[in-house]
Amino acid sequence: MTSFAARAGSAVKAFAEASSDLLIQPTLRLGVTGLARSGKTVFTTALIHHLVEAHDLPAFAPSHEGRLRRARLVPQPDDDIPRFPFEDHFGALTEARLWPRSTDRISQFRLAIEYERKGGWRSGPGTLMLDVVDYPGEWLLDLALIEQTYTGWSRATIAGTRRSGRAAIAAPWLEALKGLDPEAPLDEVVAEGASTAFKTYLAALRAGPEAVATTPPGRFLMPGDLAGSPALTFAPLDRLGEGLRPDSLAGLMERRFEAYKAKVVEPFFRNHFQRVDRQIVLVDVLAAVDAGPAAVAELEEALDSVLLSFRIGRNTILSRLFAPRADRILFAATKADHLHQTSHDRLDALLRLLVARAMRRTEAAGARVGTAALASVRATRETTIHDGDEILRAVSGTPEAGERVGDEVFDGLSEAAIFPGELPAHPDAVLEGAVAPGSLRFPRFRPPPVRPDALGRPGHLPQIRLDRAMQFLIGDKLA
């Protein structure tokens, strides 16, 4: 009954929102999602910046055709969601030349975009309300828990410790796990100790190759106001039988696992994820490539798991009213500015390989799917390096203080030209080990300097294919 009531409430909310969109004010809800450290905050900040400042974006038709009149931030529709702190993030990028802090909670903003329609019977001025919801990447993989049982999740998580590169990281947790008897009487102190040991394991994964694709539950490392609550005090157990007694340690863990799904994961999915019209999924492909074939394979699995949770398909009037779907999804490989432009097509091809399964399912459901290799804020410029008779295609920028390439440690002030390496011409070769772990050079560059122009107008953040992403996601709504 609780599930039915929740679904009914969600349907009523969707009906009310869609009715308003169709009859009163056109609105598009865009979800910005991605795994940890994929650049969601930078993408969202750059999107607002270019729309509000009305910069010329060649691949964004409303801008290039001169039909974009103005865009302005207006009060957001959901008063219970924190506002996206655009001003703070933009100041960090342009004044301090620091990357904004990572997303640690859900946030939202609304832009009123005024434009001229292209012509036809609907010619003339129009306004689109663009609602953008920015999600913490750590919460994404939690969506896969919705369909899992506690026993199945425990077995899968323990089995995951046998993956390449995890044995040493998992050893302390697995040792603690041996001393836990699932059939023992429930004990709060024992449960808390087991949960702490598991969270330590997750934190160690985050610091290692697993940073590419985190293991759920996501709120364990980003608890917010749930810190210390019973819903976040559970852990996998080994040697589980088919039936778990409610008064046992395993029964306690199962109950809290289900509470986590019911109180944390499902409301997030119901109230935010399934309400979006368009999705962009940002992916740090380069970090996975540099970590090795095992990390790339894990990234593919994580992306596939995430996309299974989306409600995807072509929208009709009825579906817009009662069960809205995301009808366009863009997969974007970020940090393309770390590579010379001659490797951008290879980066895009590798991304398409990683999301091939998800793309087939998405297109079969009637949604449009796109891929792009982009840099929301371009931190480098292209150059060449002469190495004897060989000319290497390189990138030049200001590496952050403490970044290292070989024996050189950067001070955060000096520019450097760096040859990052090249991606294989055939993306399958990455999965076959063509790129040795750690062989690529991807130091973290500082954001570029942004200076006012001769008239004192604020400068703009350089980008790579952000305009193409904007065209795919919202261009048709401004036609």
Grouping H, G, I as helix, E, B as strand and the rest as coil, residue 83 is strand
CA separation for the pair 155, 167 (Å, rounded): 16
Beta bridge partners of 73: 111
- pLDDT band at residue 249 using 50, 70 and 90 as cut-offs: very high
pLDDT tens column, 2-48: 444 444 445 455 544 544 454 468 999 999 988 778 899 999 999 99
Report CA-CA distances (Å) from 70 to 50, 127, 225, 280, 463: 11, 10, 38, 23, 20
Say what the pLDDT of residue 19 is: 47
Report CA-CA distances (Å) from 269 to 23, 264, 289, 417: 26, 9, 30, 44
Phi first, then psi: give them for residue 9, nearest 5 degrees: -60, -40
Residue 387 clears pLDDT 90, i.e. is over it: no
Cβ proximity of 330 and 473 under 8 Å: yes
Say what the pLDDT of residue 294 is: 82
Counting other chains too, the contacts that 386-391 makes at CB distance below 8 Å and 24 or more residues apart are 387/419
| pLDDT higher at 146 or 395 | 395
| pLDDT higher at 118 or 403 | 403
Q: What is the pTM of this model?
A: 0.87
What is the dihedral sign for C-alpha 374, 379, 383, 384?
A: negative
Say what the pLDDT of residue 6 is: 47
Cβ proximity of 161 and 167 under 8 Å: yes
Out of 200-209, 226-235, 335-344, 427-436, give the one with best mean pLDDT.
335-344
- pLDDT band at residue 85 using 50, 70 and 90 as cut-offs: very high
CATH of domain 2-135+272-378+465-478: 3.40.50.300
Contacts of residue 120, Cβ cutoff 8 Å, sequence gap at least 6: none
- Each domain of the chain, given as residue ranges in start order, spans 2-135+272-378+465-478, 146-263
Q: What does pLDDT average to over the chain?
A: 87
Say what the pLDDT of residue 7 is: 47
Say what the pLDDT of residue 438 is: 82
Residue 121 clears pLDDT 80, i.e. is over it: no
pLDDT tens column, 453-473: 777 776 789 999 999 999 999
| pLDDT higher at 143 or 130 | 130
Say what the pLDDT of residue 379 is: 97
- pLDDT band at residue 323 using 50, 70 and 90 as cut-offs: low
Cβ proximity of 297 and 444 under 8 Å: no
pLDDT tens column, 194-238: 999 999 999 888 877 655 556 889 889 888 778 888 999 999 999
- pLDDT band at residue 291 using 50, 70 and 90 as cut-offs: confident
| pLDDT higher at 139 or 30 | 30
Tell me what the mean pLDDT of segment 257-280 comes to: 88
| pLDDT higher at 146 or 447 | 447
| pLDDT higher at 268 or 58 | 58
Say what the pLDDT of residue 471 is: 98
Say what the pLDDT of residue 213 is: 56
In the numeric block, the tokens 């009715």 are attached to: 19
Residue 322 clears pLDDT 60, i.e. is over it: no
What count of residues does the chain have? 479
- pLDDT band at residue 260 using 50, 70 and 90 as cut-offs: very high
Percent of the chain with pLDDT over 70: 89
CA separation for the pair 355, 296 (Å, rounded): 11
In degrees, rounded to 5, the angle at the alpha carbon of residue 137 between the alpha carbons of residues 136 and 142 is 100
pLDDT tens column, 95-107: 999 999 887 788 9
CA separation for the pair 452, 470 (Å, rounded): 24
Say what the pLDDT of residue 4 is: 44
pLDDT tens column, 347-364: 999 999 999 887 887 777
